[in-house]
Amino acid sequence: MKSQTLNNAIVHGNMVMKQNSSLVSEGSADFRGNVMAEEAGEGITDGTGTIYASSVQRTGGIITTRILIDLTGCSSATSDLDIIGTGSEVAHIGRITTKVNGTILGGTMKCLELPSSLTDIDLYSADEGTGVFEGGVGSLTETALLTKGEAWAAMAEDDLTALPTNNEYLYLVNGAADTADVFTAGKFLIELLGYEA
């Protein structure tokens, strides 16, 4: 399989591709370089079996950011609004920057697989990237982006009620008190839509 890595912008007709990409001989394109400026901390990625991936795609004037996460191997926390994660390292799931993600205009969170143990999971942003597993998100300068208020249903999708701004970090938190159980299931897709101001 032959591929060619392209580091500069490519103009083909009226299409412009930026950032690192590869054109594969079968005709597909590989945009592995198009990720968040800062991805999840080790308090997420150190989970055994945890899956985390981010994608940032620019199409015309729309910037779409996606975060795909399988919480398997991370743990729910004990108290309402405690941060989900593992160990003692920072447990954010990525940092939003206007340079990479644009100015966010809307977003959604979708449950792809029901989480085990804790089923009420919320999404927050905070100015600080220092939040750790079982730390209270309220101790940070935080904003509730989505407060579920009940158990997630499989394939349920909710709109964000507030939006992250430049240099804010994203956190998944307990929506209710729970025991610190290790997740054996729980897949989510977070999608943010932005534009370059």
Give me the pLDDT at residue 25, please.
52
CB 40 within 8 A of CB 92: yes
In 3D, which of 161, 188, 159, 153 has the Cα closest to residue 54?
188
Give me the pLDDT at residue 197, please.
82
- Chain mean position to CA 164: 12
pLDDT, one tens digit per residue, over 144-161 is 999 999 999 999 999 999
Give me the pLDDT at residue 20, please.
53
Give me the pLDDT at residue 138, please.
96
Give me the pLDDT at residue 4, please.
43
| DSSP H stretches of helix in the chain | 42-45, 98-101
Give me the pLDDT at residue 26, please.
59
Give me the pLDDT at residue 102, please.
97
Give me the pLDDT at residue 17, please.
42
CB 67 within 8 A of CB 94: yes
**Dihedral (CA of 28, 34, 196, 142) sign:** positive
Q: What does the domain layout of the chain look like in residue ranges?
A: 1-33, 34-195
pTM: 0.86
Give me the pLDDT at residue 28, please.
60
Give me the pLDDT at residue 179, please.
85
Give me the pLDDT at residue 33, please.
66
Q: Residues in the chain with pLDDT < 50?
A: 1-19, 23
